[in-house]
Chain A
Amino acid sequence: ETGVTQSPTHLIKTRGQQVTLRCSSQSGHNTVSWYQQALGQGPQFIFQYYREEENGRGNFPPRFSGLQFPNYSSELNVNALELDDSALYLCASSLWGGGSEQYFGPGTRLTVT
C-alpha cells in the first residue's frame, strides 16, 4: 500500500506566475484535501475534493483552484502568485465519511520571489 505522494518537492516561482502542484492519494482513498502551511503556523484548509467535485473551501481566493481525477489523484493550481503564497502545501487523502482519518503527504515547498 503506497502512501500519499506529492510532486514536486520544492519549487521556486516568480510573483505573477502560475503553479500546479500534484498529489497522488493513498490507495483506495476517495477524498483529497489541500492545506497551506506558512512558516511557523499550523496548516490552513484550502479546499477538499470528493468524487471530482469541490466539497468545501476555506478562506482562500478564487485564484486557488483544484482538480480531482477519476483515479483520485489531485492538482492544486495557483494563479497570479504573490509573495505571501510562499509556504508548504500539504495534500491529505482519506475515505469519505465518519471519523476516517486523513493521511498527509510530505508536502511541496513553494517559494515565490
Chain B
Amino acid sequence: AQSVTQLDSQVPVFEEAPVELRCNYSSSVSVYLFWYVQYPNQGLQLLLKYLSGSTLVKGINGFEAEFNKSQTSFHLRKPSVHISDTAEYFCAVRPTSGTYKYIFGTGTRLKVLA
C-alpha cells in the first residue's frame, strides 16, 4: 500500500519570495511521483513528474522538485512566487506497474501575499 503526507496544510508567502512545499511518501513497491496544482473550481493540472533518472525534475511555471529516495520525499520548490501561484497543490504517487491508482496527499494551500 502507498500513502502520501503533505505536512503543511497552508503556506503563506510573500510575492517574489521562495517557497517549498513538502511531500513525504510511503510505499512497499516502486512508484512514480507527481505534483498537481488545482485552481479554484477547476480540475487538476500536472506540474511535474518523476519517473526515473535525474532526481531534480523541472516542471511548468518555474516549479521544480527533488526526489530523495532515502528520505522518501519529493518536495516542490519555486525560487520566486507570483500572486497567480495561489492555489492548492497536491503530491501524488502511483505504482510503476499495475493499476493507475494514484494516491494523493491532502494538499497544501499556497497563498501568495502582495
Contact = CB atoms under 8 A, between A and B. Distances in A.
A24 interface: no
Interface of B: 4, 32, 34, 36, 41-46, 49, 51, 90, 92, 96, 98-107
A108 to B, nearest CB: 10
Interface of A: 4, 31, 33, 35, 40-45, 48, 55-56, 58, 90, 92, 94, 98-99, 101-107
Contacts, number: 61
B49 A99 contact: yes
B97 to A, nearest CB: 10
Contacts of A40: 106-107
B102 A43 contact: yes
A4 B46 CA distance: 14
A42 B99 contact: no
B43 A56 contact: no
Contacts of B46: 101-103
A56 B101 contact: yes
Given A43-B44, A43-B90, A106-B42, A101 B34 contact: yes
A33 B96 CA distance: 16
A42 B43 contact: no
A45 B106 contact: no
Given A56-B100, A105-B43, A42 B106 contact: yes
8 nearest CB pairs, A to B: A56-B99, A42-B104, A104-B43, A99-B51, A104-B44, A106-B43, A43-B104, A45-B101
7 contacts: A55-B99, A92-B44, A94-B100, A102-B46, A104-B45, A105-B43, A106-B42
